[in-house]
Every structure is written in C-alpha cells, then in structure tokens.
C-alpha cells in the first residue's frame, strides 16, 4: 500500500475499495439465498430419495463430496434426471433445495453421510402413526411403486441386491414386522413413512406376495 499515492495509484485503489464494497453488498444477499432450508420431514424425504433414486448409478459419496451453489445443484439434478434419475419435478425441486442448503460452497469439509443423517432424523408424528384400518393393496399398482422406490436395493423382481431378497420372504406374512420395517426403516434400510402413503405401501406388499 502506497503512503503517498500518485494520482493514478490513488484512483486505482479507491476504485478497488469501491468495487470491493459494491461486491460485498451485491454478494451478501445472494449468499443468504444460496442456503435454503428444508423442514425436517422434507429433509427425511429428500435423503430417502437420494438413497433410493440417486444411488442406483453411483455412490452417495459422489453427491456428498460436492459443494455447489443452488444454481449448480439445479443443473446437476436436471442432468441426472435427463440421464435417467427417476424424479418428479416436485421431487427434483425438493432435492435441489435440500442439497443447496446442505452441500453449499461454505459447508464444512466433513458432513455426515446421507445415511448417517437419515438415521439421526426423528420420525415425525405422521410417520409414526399406525394404520387406521385394513387397507387392500393393489398388486398392479405395487409393481410400479416397487420399481421406483425399492428395486435399486432389493433387485428387479425383488430377488435381492444390496438389500435382502423380498420375494417369498417370510416377513411378508408378518405384516406387523413388514410395516414396522418399511415405515421406520432398519439399519441401512431407509424409512418410507415420509415418502409413501400407507395405501402405496399396501400396494407394494400386495405385489410382493405375488412374487
């Protein structure tokens, strides 16, 4: 820094100061917008979707290690949908908000994995609710629901993969254990209470017993 600046040097440094100040004003509100927050129940849904819909092609670590602003997450998620990630526009928008709020450029290097985060999230009351009455599952609907939500881990035709074989699994006869596992998750198995309705779970169950 010059103590007695020449006229050009002075002009240069005041311009620099002005630009830095303008920059600070311009950037501050933008950074706030970069970190949207997602309600806990929606965060559960988002983390579950990442395990079920994104981990089909690559590890969740590839996602967890990124630190991107919201516009880049929008582009990334759009690209993944284009490549085959199975997401509705609403689910894609939720994932962008969740990822931009969590994996932004200012986020710490070490974040818990999506799996760890999901395990520590408290189920909400709605997710803990028990079934109101007997539901009749429709196997024809369950097939598609299984393909979207379960197949990535339980394999095509429910013959098993990263998760156990569900076709002819004795848990299908023990409805209490089936519902407990699917609604609340178990170990690496995500909880589905925030993502699927009870009717949809009943439809999947109905389809599984036909396998």
The yes or no reply on residue 93 touching ligand HEC (CB under 6 A) is no
Range in contact with ligand HEC (rule: CB under 6 A) among 5-13, 19-27, 74-82, 104-112: 74-82
**Contact string (CB under 6 A) for ligand HEC, positions 147-186, x = contact:** --xx-xxx-------xxx-x--x-x------x--xx---x
Q: Are 158 and 146 in contact (CB under 8 A)?
A: yes
Report the distance separating Cα 153 and Cα 167, nearest Å. 13
The yes or no reply on residue 190 touching ligand HEC (CB under 6 A) is yes
Among 9, 12, 15, 58, binds ligand HEC (CB under 6 A): 58
Radius of gyration of the chain (CA): 24
Sign of CA dihedral 147, 152, 155, 160: negative
Among 85, 143, 183, 206, binds ligand HEC (CB under 6 A): 85
The yes or no reply on residue 129 touching ligand HEC (CB under 6 A) is no
Q: Are 192 and 48 in contact (CB under 8 A)?
A: yes
CB of 207 to ligand HEC, least distance (A): 9
Q: Are 46 and 95 in contact (CB under 8 A)?
A: yes
The yes or no reply on residue 56 touching ligand HEC (CB under 6 A) is yes
Phi, psi of 182 (to 5 degrees): -75, -45
Q: Are 77 and 99 in contact (CB under 8 A)?
A: yes
The yes or no reply on residue 52 touching ligand HEC (CB under 6 A) is yes
Report the distance separating Cα 116 and Cα 188, nearest Å. 9
User: Which residues are at the interface with ligand HEC (CB under 6 A)?
Assistant: 51-54, 56-58, 62-63, 66, 76-77, 80, 83-85, 87, 95, 149-150, 152-154, 162-164, 166, 169, 171, 178, 181-182, 186-190, 192, 204
């Amino acid at each position: 820094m010059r103590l007695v600046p020449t006229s050009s040097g002075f002009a240069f440094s005041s311009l620099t100061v002005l630009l830095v100040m303008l920059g600070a004003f311009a950037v501050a509100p933008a950074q706030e917008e970069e970190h949207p927050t997602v309600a806990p129940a929606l965060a559960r849904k988002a983390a579950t979707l990442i395990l079920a819909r994104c981990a089909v092609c690559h590890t969740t670590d590839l996602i967890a290690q990124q630190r991107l602003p919201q516009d880049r997450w929008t582009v990334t998620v759009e690209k993944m949908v284009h490549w085959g990630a199975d997401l509705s526009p609403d689910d894609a928008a939720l994932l962008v908000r969740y990822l931009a709020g969590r994996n932004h450029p200012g986020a710490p290097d070490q974040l818990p994995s999506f799996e760890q985060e999901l395990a520590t999230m408290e189920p909400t009351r709605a997710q803990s609710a028990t079934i109101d009455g007997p539901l009749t599952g429709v196997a024809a609907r369950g097939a598609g629901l299984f393909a979207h939500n379960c197949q990535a881990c339980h394999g095509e035709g429910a013959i098993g993969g990263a998760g156990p074989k569900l076709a002819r699994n004795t848990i299908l006869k023990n409805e209490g254990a089936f519902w407990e596992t699917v609604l609340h998750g178990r170990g690496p198995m995500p909880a589905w209470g925030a993502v699927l309705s009870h009717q949809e779970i009943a439809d999947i169950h109905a389809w599984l017993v036909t396998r």
